[in-house]
Structure 1
């Protein structure tokens, strides 16, 4: 029997135990993470994807190795269109649970989509090793085979998948697509699509594929109906809307095409791809003025949409309206300051305004927040490269290539760096990687051909250039490289014709114009100048063409006109470092070394990691007679980039001239020669270093090769004369020393050569 008062105490004690148990449940990490998971799945099932992702992330904060949360987060990211983030989560799932075959197949499909068919095949093979009759694995193998052009294997594999699971709608769609590639299989293909639609009426892919087949055989009405059906099934599927717009456009009904894409933006105002589809439509058809009206209306109607404004701003940039684009970017900042796309847009505008350092800081900060964002890494690489920070640029492009193996932009960035430093090995690697991922990408064959041409493998180079032109007859780069190859082979008329053709394809084809003018200039300077003036008229807004004109004027010692032309190039493109470089040289020629140095110092202050720019600063100081400052700049350049050829070459030369370490100078001269193996200048420097080291036969061989390339160079003649003197060949020594005096009278070279001649008696 419970005494009075004891019941109350026992009740209180029981309540305490219950509360303690409940509190224990709340603090039990296994319970907490499971609750987050279940909550996230409820959000996911109801279409609230942001909320779902947050709950899965909360679960992972409790237990970072919670595989189920990683998997659900991966699926959520994929539904949100965050493909890279979804793929990263799937990698974690597969690593922690190798037998999650569903995740492995999904990962394989993503790898195939990002240009890694071998990795996708590996995922399918792993599944089949454990489950030999897994139909999804055979379907994945079929897609891999199709991507590699192996149609017979692809058909066999998808038919095998259907033999295992004949009621899978997606398999019938896949088979139908393969059959549609054969004219005789059209009827079978259409039947497969109808079967797929019967099996899964909610899958929009089959009607979209059927629409493409019907349009191909001229049934535009049928194609329209199928695309409308797909949109009804999946209103958020942009592929269906783009397909319908394409049907209208090809049928000549541009109003319906525009309305379809505009409706997509109105239905999905926060979808970047929807806004980009509409802006791309306007840009492609040259309807920018009309597009501005439409995007102004859309921006007003959807005040909180960053996607619409981002697409609008990019479109304005495509027509060089940076002023208006900047205003739109400010609107984006107010509603989506942390959006990675805003960071890229902001950086683009800053670069155009000549604020490269600010653009770099913006992208660097964004990349730290979003380390898995490949487009951010590409943008960071481009801005770093523009600022001369080659190390950061290369690291960023490599990072982007890892994050998104199929990124052509990342490979383009690496190719540009390889080209800039004459690294044929890297250029070949980048080219072959790109060709493996994108065998129809024309530029990749240009890269490989250029590397082959640099190694004198002319037959292979020509084959690659011809392949590039076959894939894209308008590829100015391929025509330029083939033209240069023809000039090397002494086929002058064919070479110049190819360079001219390149300029008809692209009036701004910098290298084509440069090579054409250089070839003509050696024979007819007046004609070369006339050709440049003609190109200025054809491309009046091209900064590069103005720089080419300024360079020609500079070579003719027409410093005043060279300065004016370079200034115009700088106005057209404030980021064009070459324009500033020619301007500085022209001002130096006009007797204004202080102006030249001041202008160049200004560039360096805005681009402190630009190794090439610091080399140029050294060159200007050297030309003005301050060798000490020049050597300081060259050393700074080599700190930024140990492979900077100009700095290595010039510093090596000044070191031996000033009695500094010959061994250190030798290492630098060898670096410069490796970077520029065909340069008379690097041969002269390395030969002169060998002279100071006392290795006269090596010095003679290099200097003789340099003289063949540049017979009227006073420095080379002096160095070779001094070398012959050391080797006891007094007759040749005297000949070259006298020539040095005649080529450069009243210079230090003439004084030194004269002194040597006097000592010879």
Structure 2
């Protein structure tokens, strides 16, 4: 019987029905178990479609609901590994195995990742754990075979892969692995080819099988067959970068430049959304020094794919190689607006800022990037470099250590640690870094140089020499190896041999200012300034754009009395490198030498205007102002230097002394003098200033003791002799007062010091 409902009753039923439906839906949404599986399923769909970023978001959402959801950890690990984020993938696999110890495939994946990281014993542990659960697991035997092959145990590797094939004879990857092992022995070459052909017949998408078969065919001179297999590898997986690069390398070996460029251009074009793919063509052009051609190609590619950040970053690398900083800055600005979240963009921005001399700003950018991307190798490396440029060795050391942890085999990280150790004169750590680097790259010359330097610091001359010789043996054209050996010979006073080694270093690196400077020092030691001048001028002809060599020439010219020549050389250095502080210093010194102190002051005033955070520059400016009699200006400059760098020793010392001369606060002067002495404990000047402040405060005994001790090392310092004489005069010791005042006058005739000493002598009779 049909019941008739009033409109009001019908509306009530509709509302109740909607409420019931919504309640059921909300109940589903509130059920954590259903919600996490919905995120998981959504992530898998995205993963199947190749949308890895979206997939990782959904798997992460599932883990927000249940952070112990093992299946989501495993799926997230696979996405990370596909994206090339190895550390994140490794972390997720560890978590998966911890939560799901019976997830055999996760253990196999973890084992392969451990093997790739050369943690072979841990990889074996995962394979054995799988076999303990399932003793006929073919993947576990394949993993054990790969470990044995890595260790060089071919027989064991063959045994284990054959065991895998006995369990699963139709697995293409196993046939490929057996083929690769057999290919290493000419006696089993035909069998290897058979195995590899079996692999590709079973799985046409097995890229590795195609690649190994191609290598085998190329070796037997079947070039067409090899080329076909390489092309098949690309067809099997168009996004496989190794396949693309392998085809390009095949053409490189054939000297077919046109096909090399076409292959890499097509790869870069089609893989423009992938940083490694976008970099393929750039790497080739940079390696072959075809910067203009590379820049033109990438300009077109960027125009074609204007939203591709990887392409723009690769383009920037070519422009950096071309030293086209203006265009790099333009790309950096664009990416900072559109892709500021990418760590590579932060690195590029920091490189531009460092080139602009904006060290603090670059450091800040990289610190922020490191916080957002704590496992990014390049961010850590550049943060270390920026910290070094900033003078923060603690952060530099920490950053390079992080980089070394992220990739223990990264030589750039080891190099950064070595550089920090050398700056800190920490030769114990340098030796440790050297040992680690030698283990990573025994055929690299540089780690042997580091170890040799550490040994030389301990006066282990024979060991140092052996390491320097090893570096030369590995890399006979390495200029640093000859330079280090030369410095060892200088210590041993074997001057002719040292000179020969330095000349060889310059032959391989004409821009080595250090080698040239040491050669010049040997000429001056042998009292041959004309030879030194001639040597520098000849080297400048070979390296005309080296500002440091002009700095050296300017210094030599000042020493030989050619102030005008020094002025010209320093000016040339400044033109080559406006950021060369040594050139500005040489220029100002030459200006003083020609009697133009006012212009020297103006030079440094301009420098401090351009470099407002350069404490040393303000100190130099203050020294010049003081020499010209501008005590107020000097005092202001010293105070500015100390506001930037409170422990600036020279500024502290000079300001303290100036305060004693101008009636300044002696307590403040004493504090400044003590700071200077602490920073420069072996300096006669800091001892003299501290003693003179104590003299002014009436602390004659401590002033006397300090200067008596200083005279043991610096007996010919006129100022110390004068001040000690004045102190003895206050102590009523006329004999010693007269002795030291007379020495001061004799050491500095026709100076204000001599006049002051003679005046005091006349007073004490």
TM-score bracket, normalised by the shorter chain, equals 0.7 to 0.9
Distance 2:215 2:653 in 1: 60
Could you say if the C-alpha distance between residues 412 and 366 of structure 1 is closer, same or farther in structure 2, counting changes exceeding 3 Å?
A: same
Matches within 5 A, 1:588-607: 590-592=596-598, 594-595=601-602, 597-602=604-609, 604-605=611-612
Q: Which residue of 2 aligns with 1:404?
A: 407
1:532 to 536, 549, 554: 536
8 Å CA contact 1:700–1:723 kept in 2: the answer is: no
Could you say if the C-alpha distance between residues 582 and 197 of structure 1 is closer, same or farther in structure 2, counting changes exceeding 3 Å?
A: farther
Deviation at 1:255, TM superposition (A): 0.9
Q: Which residue of 2 aligns with 1:495?
A: 498
Q: Which residue of 1 aligns with 2:373?
A: 370
**CA shift digits 1:168-209 (9 cap, x unpaired):** 554554565556556666556555544544554322113223
Matches within 5 A, 1:500-539: 500-523=503-526, 524-539=528-543
Q: Which residue of 2 aligns with 1:678?
A: none
Q: Which residue of 1 aligns with 2:223?
A: 220
8 Å CA contact 2:673–2:689 kept in 1: the answer is: no
Distance 1:703 1:136 in 2: 79
8 Å CA contact 1:721–1:734 kept in 2: the answer is: yes
Could you say if the C-alpha distance between residues 184 and 702 of structure 1 is closer, same or farther in structure 2, counting changes exceeding 3 Å?
A: farther
SS of corresponding position for 1:117? coil
Matches within 5 A, 1:192-207: 193-194=196-197, 196-198=199-201, 200-207=203-210
SS of corresponding position for 1:376? helix
Deviation at 1:222, TM superposition (A): 3.6
Q: Does 1:151 align with 2:142?
A: no
8 Å CA contact 1:656–1:665 kept in 2: the answer is: no
**CA shift digits 1:252-286 (9 cap, x unpaired):** 21111111111112222222223322122223223
Moved more, 731-740 or 494-503: 731-740
Q: Which residue of 1 aligns with 2:432?
A: 429
Distance 2:98 2:520 in 1: 58
8 Å CA contact 2:605–2:621 kept in 1: the answer is: no
Q: Which residue of 1 aligns with 2:615?
A: 614
8 Å CA contact 1:666–1:686 kept in 2: the answer is: no
Q: Which residue of 2 aligns with 1:117?
A: 118
Distance 1:101 1:560 in 2: 80
Q: Which residue of 2 aligns with 1:269?
A: 272
Q: Which residue of 2 aligns with 1:452?
A: 455
Distance 2:146 2:728 in 1: 69
Q: State the aligned residue count.
A: 733
2:236 to 233, 240, 248: 233
SS of corresponding position for 2:521? helix
Distance 1:554 1:108 in 2: 67
SS of corresponding position for 1:252? coil
**CA shift digits 1:340-399 (9 cap, x unpaired):** 323333333343344444444444444444343221232233234334444444443333
Q: Which runs of 5+ in 1 are unaligned?
A: 674-680
RMSD over equivalenced CA pairs, Å: 4.8
8 Å CA contact 1:587–1:596 kept in 2: the answer is: no
Could you say if the C-alpha distance between residues 534 and 86 of structure 1 is closer, same or farther in structure 2, counting changes exceeding 3 Å?
A: farther
8 Å CA contact 1:135–1:160 kept in 2: the answer is: no
Could you say if the C-alpha distance between residues 164 and 512 of structure 1 is closer, same or farther in structure 2, counting changes exceeding 3 Å?
A: same
Distance 2:580 2:143 in 1: 48
Could you say if the C-alpha distance between residues 687 and 112 of structure 1 is closer, same or farther in structure 2, counting changes exceeding 3 Å?
A: farther
Moved more, 180-189 or 461-470: 180-189
Could you say if the C-alpha distance between residues 384 and 507 of structure 1 is closer, same or farther in structure 2, counting changes exceeding 3 Å?
A: same
8 Å CA contact 1:204–1:230 kept in 2: the answer is: yes
8 Å CA contact 1:683–1:702 kept in 2: the answer is: yes
Deviation at 1:457, TM superposition (A): 1.9
8 Å CA contact 1:84–1:373 kept in 2: the answer is: no
Moved more, 591-600 or 259-268: 591-600
Higher relative contact order (CA 8 A, sep 6+): 1
SS of corresponding position for 1:406? coil
Deviation at 1:664, TM superposition (A): 10
Distance 2:108 2:687 in 1: 58
Moved more, 29-38 or 348-357: 348-357
Q: Which residue of 1 aligns with 2:245?
A: 242
8 Å CA contact 2:145–2:161 kept in 1: the answer is: no
**CA shift digits 1:33-90 (9 cap, x unpaired):** 2211110011101212222122223323434454433332221122123334434444
Q: Which residue of 1 aligns with 2:469?
A: 466
Q: Which residue of 1 aligns with 2:44?
A: 41
Q: Which residue of 2 aligns with 1:285?
A: 288
1:479 to 477, 482, 486: 482
Deviation at 1:433, TM superposition (A): 3.0
Q: Which residue of 1 aligns with 2:315?
A: 312
Distance 1:24 1:506 in 2: 74
Distance 2:129 2:722 in 1: 73
Matches within 5 A, 1:302-341: 302-330=305-333, 332=335, 335-341=338-344
Distance 1:290 1:587 in 2: 46
Could you say if the C-alpha distance between residues 365 and 418 of structure 1 is closer, same or farther in structure 2, counting changes exceeding 3 Å?
A: same
Could you say if the C-alpha distance between residues 439 and 700 of structure 1 is closer, same or farther in structure 2, counting changes exceeding 3 Å?
A: farther
Could you say if the C-alpha distance between residues 178 and 431 of structure 1 is closer, same or farther in structure 2, counting changes exceeding 3 Å?
A: farther
Distance 1:161 1:438 in 2: 30
**CA shift digits 1:139-180 (9 cap, x unpaired):** 667666766xx423x652563354255545545545655565
Could you say if the C-alpha distance between residues 306 and 184 of structure 1 is closer, same or farther in structure 2, counting changes exceeding 3 Å?
A: same
Deviation at 1:756, TM superposition (A): 10
Deviation at 1:699, TM superposition (A): 9.3
Q: Which residue of 2 aligns with 1:385?
A: 388
8 Å CA contact 1:155–1:178 kept in 2: the answer is: no
Distance 1:747 1:335 in 2: 66
Q: Which residue of 2 aligns with 1:163?
A: 163
**CA shift digits 1:519-555 (9 cap, x unpaired):** 2233322222222222222222334434443444455
Normalised to the residue count of structure 2, the TM-score between the two structures is 0.79
Could you say if the C-alpha distance between residues 82 and 68 of structure 1 is closer, same or farther in structure 2, counting changes exceeding 3 Å?
A: same
Could you say if the C-alpha distance between residues 722 and 333 of structure 1 is closer, same or farther in structure 2, counting changes exceeding 3 Å?
A: same
Q: Does 1:53 align with 2:64?
A: no
Could you say if the C-alpha distance between residues 16 and 254 of structure 1 is closer, same or farther in structure 2, counting changes exceeding 3 Å?
A: same
Deviation at 1:315, TM superposition (A): 0.8
Matches within 5 A, 1:561-710: 561-562=565-566, 564-583=568-587, 590-592=596-598, 594-595=601-602, 597-602=604-609, 604-605=611-612, 608=613, 613-615=614-616, 617-618=618-619, 620-621=621-622, 624-625=625-626
SS of corresponding position for 1:440? coil
Distance 1:719 1:136 in 2: 85
Distance 2:553 2:55 in 1: 60
Q: Which residue of 2 aligns with 1:676?
A: none
Q: Which residue of 2 aligns with 1:541?
A: 545
Distance 2:127 2:302 in 1: 48
